Amino acid sequence: MGSMGYTLIELIVVIAIGGILAGYVAPRLFDQSAFAQRGYADELAAALRGTQKAAVITGCPARLVLAAGSYAASQQAASGNACNPADTGWTTPVVGGDGSTVAGSAPAGTSASPAGTFQFDSQGRLVASPATTISVGSRTLTLDAATGYVTVQ
């Protein structure tokens, strides 16, 4: 009859292999960057949509200024019941449905490009922008210039 059980050498080899696999697999399982990129891409798309809707609702042009790690939306100031085209400061912030200003920052390690100003006219059309696609990590936001429609892939 042979002995039952494992030798000390066999146990050490199995534990060593398990440790190596854990060291290799664990960082990939707990990496949140893909989730952060997706979340920021969705947040940025919602901000662009909100800016476009604000332009349509108010009848005043609105713009979103995008930097690599942040964004903020604003409009031309009103003058009575119309827009003030002389307002070059665009100091009136765009307010979202929840009452907060449309602005945000990218999570650590996440950035968007190209940076620049995305401007919508009173019809919701994209009239000025550095591009019609924005990259956030592996995600791409596409803007339709004719309608202002924003999609995330």
The answer to whether residue 2 scores a pLDDT higher than 70 is: no
Mean pLDDT value of segment 81-92: 86
Assess if residue 21 is contained within a domain. Answer: no
Between 5 and 113, name the one with better pLDDT: 113
**CATH at 132:** 3.55.40
* Average pLDDT of the chain, as a whole number: 91
Q: How many domains does the chain have?
A: 1
Least confident of 16-25, 41-50, 63-72, 125-134: 16-25
Look up the domain containing 50 and give its range.
Answer: 33-152
Within a domain: 114: yes
Rounded CA-CA distance 119/75 in Å is 9
Model pLDDT, residue 97 = 86
**Contact between residue 77 and residue 84 where contact means Cβ atoms under 8 Å apart:** yes
What is the Cα–Cα distance from 96 to 46, expressed in whole angstroms?
10
Q: 118: exposed, middle or buried (C-beta count within 10 Å: 0-12, 13-18, 19+)? A: buried
Name the percent of the chain lying above pLDDT 90: 67
The answer as to whether 126 is a domain residue is yes
The answer to the question of residue 7 being in a domain is: no
Answer whether residue 79 is part of any domain.
yes
SS (H, E, C) 72-140: EEEECCEECCEECCCCCCCCEECECCCCCECEEECCCCCCEECCEEEEECCCCCEEECCCCEEEECCEE
Q: Is residue 15 part of a domain?
A: no
